[in-house]
Structure 1
Amino acid sequence: MQNVIFMGTPDYAQKILQRLIDTGDINVVAVYTQPDKPVGRKKVLTPPPVKTTAQEYNIPVYQPQKLRDEKTVEKLLTIPCDFIVVAAYGQILPRKVLDHAPCINLHASILPQYRGASPIQQTLLHGDKITGVTAMLMEEGLDTGDILKIETIAVDDDMMVEELFEQLTEIAAALTIDVLHNFNVYTPKKQNEAEATHCKKITKADGEVSFDNAQELYNKYRAFTPWPGIYLSSGLKLKKMKLESADEAHQDAGKIITIDKESIVVTCKQGSLRIYKVQPQSKKEMDVLSYINGKRVTLEDTLL
């Protein structure tokens, strides 16, 4: 029986935790997760998904504001374990914790690519054809540890972030069990620092788009739906679309060049997009035909 301390916070981590719990020869002895946070307009204090799952199985839960706090570290060091498994926890582990047991991190990219907070979104933003999950030994740097194993998958041109998230989560859960069971088999491999790239936390402002490049705008739509969503400087949100053309050059950006029964085609300076649904400011989502009819715009007019 392997005793494991688990550290994680969002849905991605919760599903890995569930897989650990369901595996007969792994005993999760403690869970560390971020503090409860206010959610929604009413700011209801809500526990992270990892906490909810841990409590269902009566696993002790710790939610320190700062893992580096001396008392927090001292308490953790009193918990005997064979491994510490970390998945989207959101805090850097101090040296004393790293020395307590082998710390295995499951990062949703092919490291050293996309170290940081938003690897799944970055895969779509860059139009990558392949991505994966890296199991690595943690050190004090951000996603810089030695690689134990990488599992990869193909990324379809129209894959949205939620679908990619689900696939990578399943891979991460299986990879966690594999690495724990075969830890002594894998030889840790140094990352190539020359190939390292980094990504930041996504913010609401990242969702603003313009009709410059159709492929780039479509990739933002794939990466940022449902959150933070994509929107024009006018505040109009683009809710459903597909890439019509990536190569054609157009003189006028945002011009409506096609109207059919359920969609319109709008030009970008490079390429064009077919739009099905939009959401004006302070209104509900609607089909794009109702929107342009309400605005009294038609062929050759602009959506801007």
Structure 2
Amino acid sequence: MKILFMGTPCFAKIVLEKILEDSTHQIIGLFSQPDRPFGRKQELKFPDTKEFLIQRKEKIPIFQPEVLDEKCVDIISSLSPDVILVVAYGKILPKKILSLSKCINIHASILPKYRGASPIQEMILNDDSEYGVSVINMEESLDSGDILGVHSFEVKEYMDIDSLSRVLAQMGADLVLRILQNLSHIQPIRQIHSESSYCKKILKEDGLIDFGDAKKIFLKSLAYASWPNIFLKNGLKFFGINLVDEDGSFSPGEILEIRKNTIVVGCKKGIIEITTLQAPGKQKISASAYVRGKRFEIGHILK
């Protein structure tokens, strides 16, 4: 089967690698987001999918349009794919492209729950008891197409965004390969649209926290571990958060204990342990070294 792959980040790269390993399918082209400036030096960074193909020296054409215009329609039409597989591409496909071939999407949630841009973060933030991926036929409305397959599992341990993304990407790759092998025999299932929920694109300000609820801080630290992290209004960033207690009430930000490398901090509800802190423009250091440098003691307020 000739597959045109449309995907950009590491999640998509994992799926792409799995499909390339399957000799029954041929990747005839990659569409990804354009190279973007990255880091303090603002050097151009390749999308993960593009970098992966280059490192493997694959002779697969790569397209990185800013806009999916008529030129893109012509390119895709000339490639004549049997299937267009979309995995975290980052752009909405216009009707003209959807009409060129069968379009399938891997979405990292159990649809119709968490349609939109940040389903994995949303699963973590809501402390879901079950995680999963869906494979759907694509249509013009956002993540609303008929379901071709779902794979899910019961949550037994907390995972941050990077760990969970890798697990779900592998699950999605295995699921879509099974679906592609049986595509002509699968009876799609309509989503129950009345049960749908949506999630937005993550913004930097979403990482802002106070010391209100320890459990929410902990879940945010997992959901935003890769970006934008979690931080106070003064820009102080927190890393390596552990949930010590969900209950109890303390002065928000009260330092309860200074350990060898960590500190224990009270919230309006609950207690967290902080491993690492990073002040704006500074390097990361252990939380205990930070508070000692500030001459904070037990009972002082971290702010």
Q: 3-state DSSP class of the match of 1:289?
A: helix
Displacement of 1:131 in angstroms is 1.1
For 2:104, the equivalent position in structure 1 comes to: 104
CA distance in 1, matches of 2:287, 2:226: 18
Alignment of 1:1-304 (within 5 A): 2-55=1-54, 56-67=57-68, 69-250=69-250, 252-304=251-303
Give me the whole-angstrom Cα distance separating, in 2, the residues matched to 1:166 and 1:100: 31
Q: Does the CA contact (< 8 Å) of 1:127 and 1:157 recur in 2?
A: no
Q: Distance in 2 between matches of 1:51 and 1:265?
A: 43
Give the secondary structure class of the aligned counterpart of 1:174.
helix
Number of aligned residue pairs: 301
Q: Which has the higher mean CA deviation after the structures are superposed, 153-162 or 166-175? A: 153-162
Q: Please, which runs of 5 or more residues in structure 1 have no aligned partner?
A: none
The residue type paired with residue 62 of structure 1 is F
Deviation at 1:157, TM superposition (A): 4.4
CA contact (8 A) 1:110 1:133 kept: yes
Q: Distance in 1 between matches of 2:263 and 2:159?
A: 21
Report SS of the residue matched to 1:247. Answer: coil
State the one-letter code of the partner of 1:100.
L
RMSD: 1.4
Divergent runs of 4+, >6 A: none
The letter for the 1-side match of 2:60 is: I
CA shift, 1:29, in A, is 1.2
CA drift at 1:36? 1.5
- The SS at the match of 1:266 is strand
SS across alignment from 2:177: helix
Q: Which runs of 5+ in 2 are unaligned?
A: none
Q: What is the rounded CA distance, in whole Å, between the counterparts of 2:247 and 2:131 in structure 1?
A: 25
Give the deviation of 1:95 after TM superposition: 1.7
**What TM-score do you get using the length of structure 1 for normalisation?**
0.95
Instruction: Give 1:233 deviation, angstroms.
Output: 1.1
Aligned mates of 2:288, 2:216 — CA distance in 1: 24
Contact 1:31 1:54 in 2 (8 A): no
**Contact kept in structure 1, 2:14 and 2:166, CA below 8 Å:** no
Task: Using structure 2 for the length normalisation, give the TM-score.
Answer: 0.95
Distance 2:276 2:231 in 1: 12
